[in-house]
Amino acid sequence: MPWVLILLPLPWLVWRFLPPHRDQVAAIRVPFFRQITEAAGVEARAGAVVLRRKRIQVIAAIAVWVLVLVGLSRPERLGEPIVVETAARDVVLALDISGSMDERDFKTADGSRQQRLEAVKSVIRSFIAERSGDRIALIIFGTRAYVQAPFTEDLQSLNGFLDQIVVGIAGPNTALGDAIGLGIQTFEASEVDKRLMILLSDGTDTSSRMTPINAAQIASDKGVVVYTVGVGDPDATGESRVDLATLKEIANRTGGQFFFADDETALTAVYSEIDKQNPRTTETLSYRPKRSLTHLPFALALLIILGTVAGFTLSQRRNARARQ
């Protein structure tokens, strides 16, 4: 409250313009007082004794008053600027873990065959590692869709959730529409404008309560962009056949893009392309921490008071000894 500093001249104004304070005290009644004053040629009037203060006492009083006002003004010390980066975009990863993801037909860099889910998880880990600053949620789906991890910036814990995923824990079928719907619901807790959903599937929708196309239209209305990634065999039969047409339509309706990956190298390239098209976006907030210094002027004023009182007491004792 800096305005209290306008009170600095108050003691001088009181001393200059207000009459001195007078106390009534007991006095000796003198007979023939009027005659005595007339004989002495003086005029009787109200008496007053003005105590003389030493210069050090005046200086101390002024210093204490200034320090008290400075303390009441709540001085603060500004620290070094601190920059905080917060996510300007939320990302939902929706991962198909239906029974077909157990197929070992994914080619690795050395030419060996790997389980689809393990290959996908490996690539997703690398993708997550590059999303520092973004909030990421993880959805898994099979016969039903579940939120494996809500939005978080703790990427290490997200890798822990990935480690817990195994094929079939959400059921053997594929619920594409429900996964998109759950992603839309997850975004309701988001306060950012940019909302990105990456949907990976290797099958055909067979168990959704809402069709994938309808879910995609709702996502588009909610401002959710869906990138779809197809893995697996488009020439297979039944639920093992990846429905590329539906994945393309989902991406088109939401303003996203469709990718197909048939091996680990292609899948890595897919996530790299998504990363290029959607670079990490952050909002920067800068502030300077404040530290209150109110206690310093109050403490200094107290020291001055104690020092002045101690000096005045010692001076009186010396004078008393001198008179003896």
Q: Which two tokens stand for residue 97?
A: 């873990």
Of 99, 54, 298, the C-alpha closest to 203 is: 99
Confidence of residue 283 (pLDDT cuts 50, 70, 90): low
Q: Span 142-153, mean pLDDT? A: 91
Q: Nearest CA to 94 among 228, 244, 245, 248?
A: 228
Structure tokens at 11: 């003691």
pLDDT at 323: 64
**pLDDT at residue 262 in the model:** 78
pLDDT score, position 232 = 75
Give the mean model confidence (pLDDT) for residues 247-276: 87
Which pLDDT score is estimated for 189? 82
Domain residue limits, the chain: 2-79+291-323, 84-284
Residue whose C-alpha is closest to residue 98's, from 196, 50, 169, 7: 169
Tell me the pLDDT tens digit for each residue of 123-144. Answer: 888 888 877 777 889 999 999 9
- Contact predicate 131/280, CB 8 Å: yes
Confidence of residue 239 (pLDDT cuts 50, 70, 90): low
Q: Of 165, 192, 197, 167, which is closest to residue 181 (Cα–Cα)?
A: 197
CB 22 within 8 A of CB 48: yes
- If one looks up domain 84-284 in CATH, what number appears? 3.40.50.410
Confidence at residue 254, expressed as pLDDT on a 0 to 100 scale: 93
Query: pLDDT category, 159, cuts 50, 70, 90?
Result: confident
Between 268 and 318, the more confident residue is: 268
> Is 103 in a helix, a strand, or coil?
coil
CA distance 300 to 71: 10
Confidence (pLDDT) at 282:
60
Looking at residue 204, its pLDDT comes to: 82
Q: What Å distances lie between residue 242 and 73, 156, 227, 232, 233, CA to CA? A: 71, 31, 16, 6, 6
Residue 288: which pLDDT band, with cuts at 50, 70 and 90?
confident
pLDDT band at 51 (very low <50, low <70, confident <90, very high): low
Span of 61-75, 178-192, 209-223, 306-320 with lowest mean pLDDT: 306-320
Assign 28 a pLDDT band (cuts: 50, 70, 90). confident
Q: Per the structure block, which two tokens stand in for 203?
A: 């099958």
> How many other C-beta atoms lie within 10 A of the C-beta of residue 138?
23
Tokens 């001393």, residue? 15
Indicate whether this model's pTM tops 0.75: no
Q: Pinpoint the alpha helices (H) of the chain.
A: 10-17, 33-40, 55-72, 116-129, 155-163, 176-187, 212-221, 244-254, 264-277, 295-323
| Measured CA distances, 62 to 232, 292, 304, 311 (Å) | 86, 24, 11, 17
Question: Is the pLDDT confidence value at 95 over 90?
Answer: yes
Residue 226 has pLDDT above 90, yes or no: yes
What mean pLDDT is reported for the chain?
82
Q: Is residue 49's pLDDT more than 60?
A: no
Q: Which amino acid is at 197?
A: M
The pLDDT tens digits of the residues spanning 170-193 come to 888 889 999 999 999 999 888 777
Q: In the predicted model, what is the mean pLDDT of residues 229-255?
A: 83
